[in-house]
């Protein structure tokens, strides 16, 4: 197992990076591959919204961390491009973000092998 942090370093609402994963705590610990499907922003710099989704720091696309699927397409100027949001949502149905199991043991957070 690969140590990510301690539980106190990853409180609810926090996201960090570990190797190729964005690891966060939305009430449950999660790990998803760390590049946004839109323009490959680093999701480890993202935030967690009220629904527990991981939000891209660049254009606000949101991902369900359990399925890896995009729940909201890119926002801002990109939200005005017809068909863009549905296209990316469809893409993540076919190619969702990768997920990895997170284990908590003795106050430390690990990525499972």
User: 26 falls in which pLDDT band (50, 70, 90)?
Assistant: very high
Q: What is the mean pLDDT of the chain?
A: 92
Pairing mode, strands 54-55 and 62-63:
antiparallel
Please state the rounded mean pLDDT for residues 42-70: 96
Tens of pLDDT, residues 91-110: 888 889 999 999 999 999 99
Share of the chain above pLDDT 90, in %: 73
Q: Please state whether the predicted TM-score (pTM) of the whole model is above 0.85.
A: yes
The pair of structure tokens assigned to 99 is: 């997920």
Q: Are 55 and 47 in contact (CB under 8 A)?
A: yes
Q: How far apart are CA 61 and CA 35, in angstroms?
A: 12
Stretch 48-61: mean pLDDT, rounded?
96
Q: What is the mean pLDDT of residues 6-11?
A: 95
* Residues in CB range of 50: below 8 A, 6 or more apart: none
pLDDT digits (tens, 9 = 90+) for 71-88: 988 888 777 777 777 887
Please enumerate in sequence order all residues whose Cβ is within 8 A of that of 25, keeping only pairs 6 or more positions apart, or say none.
10, 11, 12, 13, 14, 15, 48
């Amino acid at each position: 197992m690969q140590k990510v942090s301690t539980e106190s370093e990853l409180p609810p609402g926090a996201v960090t990076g570990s190797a190729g994963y964005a690891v966060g705590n939305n009430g449950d610990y999660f790990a998803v591959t760390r590049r946004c499907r839109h323009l490959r922003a680093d999701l480890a710099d993202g935030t967690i919204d009220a629904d527990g989704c991981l939000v891209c720091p660049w254009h606000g696309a949101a991902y369900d961390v359990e399925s890896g699927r995009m729940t909201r397409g890119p926002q801002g100027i990109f939200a005005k491009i017809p068909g863009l949001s549905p296209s990316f949502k469809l893409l993540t149905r076919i190619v969702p973000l990768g997920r990895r199991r997170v284990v908590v043991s003795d106050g430390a957070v690990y990525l499972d092998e």
